[in-house]
Amino acid sequence: MATRKSKVPDSQLGLPFDALAEPAAPVPEPDPTPAVQTPAAAAPEPPAELLAVGYEPPADTQLRAWEPAHWPVAPDWQPLVQRFFASATAQRLGRFVQSRLDAGAVVYPPLPLRALALTPLHAVRVVIIGQDPYHGPGQAEGLSFSVPPSQMLPPSLRNIFQEIARSRQQHPEYMPVDPDARAERGSLLRWARQGVLLLNSCLTVEQGQPNSHANQGWEALTASIVGAVAEAEQPVVFMLWGSHAQQRRQIIAESGGSKQHLVLMANHPSPLSALRPPTPFIGCNHFAKANRFLQSRGGELLRW
């Protein structure tokens, strides 16, 4: 689909990126002692039933170097991504990430831009915004809330699946069953391939340290991504769970495209807030509401 010419000043969409970025924390001086890098760990070979449904195992489980040119993205995302990586904000971010890698930090995921590779801009139908990648070994796979099939379900993802099951019982007409869902367990690749952009606000994290790469520059890129989707002609559902994701609501409203989009807000699916009033996640019916909205505008139902 074609995109409209932006009605929003570049600074509101994350362009120029340098104006939007939060003040970066100082980059630590590199340790002169040679760091011992963790040997590359290939992901285990997935079961045959996963390969049968098209699951793609990652070649590695962690980021090895700051090499944005080697991170694939869909062609219609490339202009936006290239502008970001040419900016001073991205150069500072790159120096920070590489300095942490040189110091021996374990950084996830191996492909920070994987969401943009799996879900082209023209195909986006739903946006789900997370905070930063999972920080446990082997958990992060470059998609918000998603983990590889070999991993235990994190609590937030368990609540997401609980809400889908609850909503399917109440609204079966809008909640078709995905026959591949059981095989893929916690991996949401099937969502990404249907047009669900699973986007974290911060795209890298260090092992065992949540938010360790926050406010280093990624937020400028991801704000721009949200703005680009909001500018698109096709109707899109934005699911904003928790106050962090809801900070992006202003970008959507100011894009001029909010009239054709559906913005759904609720608490974060974390066990700490999923049942908390006034907008609990459990019972929000976001998945059924999204499908009803998309169907009313001529789209197919997503198979959650």
Among all residues, which ones are annotated catalytic? 132
3 state DSSP class of 240? strand
Q: Please name the amino acid found at residue 85.
A: F
H or E element that contains 218: helix 218-231
Residue the block writes with tokens 């990126």:
17
Tokens coding 211: 């938010």
Alpha carbon distance 107, 92 (integer Å)? 17
Q: What angle do CA 291, 160, 265 make, to 5 degrees?
A: 65
Alpha carbon distance 301, 290 (integer Å)? 9
Alpha carbon distance 292, 280 (integer Å)? 20
Closest CA to 220 of 60, 5, 16: 16
H or E element that contains 50: helix 48-52
Closest CA to 148 of 222, 45, 246: 45
Distances (CA, A) of 112 to 167, 215, 218: 31, 16, 10
